[in-house]
């Protein structure tokens, strides 16, 4: 290429001159990039939020372990310790029949409990480290002494697992398809910008400009379009998520907010990187048809 620092500086200046000279096309390209990236980012955040929500719901599942009615406190504590010693168990909470009896009477207001002996049994609430190990952990608990019944909510958990897997794989496939569509839309927008300057490119060729001397300003333009479009997309995404979050809290105050685990700086970084890469690549690909070696 043989370009000096002064030449590169000149070409960068020419890129901004070209943006100012073709302001309408620049605005159209930036708007297209911003909307495309905002839609892509919003969809990815939506899928990620749904996945996090499904995982959170899976983490709420507990194994209910009902013990024999006549065991003493020593046997109860020993059984709880045996359950805790299972490697896949995260925590064990003892829920005695004395604690459960008042709550049971509240849920059965029409039941006459005068003189009725407490018919309930002691219970253990068991949380597992990995929701996928719930069934195996429940089977291990069933083999322990003093265990009368184990309820692991297997049917409900299978349903939630199915929903979580669907969200994960469908979301990944849809995000990939949307990413492909976004790249094509942005590339076409930049291609239109380059096409509008085809005469300028032809004149530069006629006066002896090299292909790279022609490419660099257009590539810089694509980078600027991508970066500015990404910044605008970031603003749209932040405004949209803030509005959606406040509206959800107002309409559904009982619903806990769902975090995607991605902060705003990470979103901005990904959008800018994606916009810059797509903008530069789109310019390089679009200008090839107008250059002759």
- Express each pLDDT in 3-34 by its tens digit: 555 555 655 666 666 666 666 777 888 888 88
- Express each pLDDT in 182-219 by its tens digit: 777 777 777 777 777 777 777 777 777 677 777 777 78
Specify the pLDDT at position 240: 84
Locus of tokens 């909510």: 153
- Rounded to the nearest angstrom, the gap between the alpha carbon of residue 193 and the centroid of all alpha carbons in its chain is 33
37-51, 185-199, 232-246, 275-289, range with the lowest pLDDT = 185-199
The structure tokens listed for 235 are 């603003």
Burial class (CB in 10 A: 0-12, 13-18, 19+), 288: exposed
Whole-prediction pTM? 0.65
Specify the pLDDT at position 18: 63
Specify the pLDDT at position 199: 77
Mean pLDDT of 160-173: 80
- Express each pLDDT in 34-54 by its tens digit: 888 888 888 888 888 877 777
For the segment(s) 62-152, the CATH number from 2.60.40.10, 3.50.50.60, 3.30.70.3040, 3.40.47.10 is: 3.30.70.3040
The structure tokens listed for 192 are 């239109």
Specify the pLDDT at position 234: 92
Q: What is the 3-state secondary structure (H, E, C) of 49-113?
A: HHHHHHHHHHHCCCEEEEECCCCCHHHHHHHHHHHHCCCCEEEEEEECHHHHHHHHHHHCCCCCC
Specify the pLDDT at position 258: 60
Specify the pLDDT at position 114: 54
Q: How is the chain split into domains, by residue range?
A: 5-57+160-290, 62-152
- Express each pLDDT in 85-141 by its tens digit: 988 888 888 887 777 666 666 666 655 555 566 667 788 888 888 887 888 888 888
Specify the pLDDT at position 254: 56
Four-residue CA torsion sign, 127, 130, 136, 140: negative
Residue in 220, 199, 209 with CA at minimum distance from that of residue 290:
199
Residue 64, pLDDT above cutoff 80:
yes
């Amino acid at each position: 290429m043989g370009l000096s620092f002064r030449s590169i500086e000149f070409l960068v200046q020419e890129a901004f001159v070209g943006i100012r000279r073709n302001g309408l096309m620049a605005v159209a390209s930036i708007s297209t990039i911003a909307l495309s990236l905002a839609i892509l980012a919003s969809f990815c955040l939506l899928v990620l939020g749904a996945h996090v929500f499904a995982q959170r719901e899976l983490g709420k599942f507990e194994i209910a372990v009902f013990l024999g009615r006549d065991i003493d406190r020593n046997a109860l504590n020993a059984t709880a310790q045996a359950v805790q010693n299972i490697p896949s168990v995260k925590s064990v909470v003892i829920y005695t029949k004395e604690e459960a009896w008042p709550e049971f009477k509240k849920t059965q207001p029409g039941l006459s409990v005068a003189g009725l002996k407490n018919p309930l049994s002691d219970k253990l609430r068991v949380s597992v480290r990995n929701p996928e190990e719930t069934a195996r952990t429940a089977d291990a608990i069933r083999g322990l002494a003093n265990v009368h019944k184990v309820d692991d909510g297997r049917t409900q958990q299978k349903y939630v697992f199915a929903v979580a897997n669907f969200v994960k794989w469908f979301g990944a496939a849809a995000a990939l398809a949307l990413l492909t569509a976004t790249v094509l839309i942005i590339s076409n927008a930049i291609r239109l910008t380059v096409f509008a300057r085809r005469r300028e490119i032809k004149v530069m060729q006629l006066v002896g400009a090299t292909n790279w001397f022609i490419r660099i300003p257009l590539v810089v333009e694509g980078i600027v379009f991508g970066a500015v479009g990404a910044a605008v997309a970031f603003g749209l995404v932040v405004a949209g998520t803030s509005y959606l979050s406040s509206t959800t809290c107002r309409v559904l105050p009982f619903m806990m907010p769902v975090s995607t685990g991605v902060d705003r700086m990470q979103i901005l970084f990904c959008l800018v990187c994606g916009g810059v890469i797509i903008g530069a690549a789109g310019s390089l690909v679009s200008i090839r048809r107008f250059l002759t070696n």
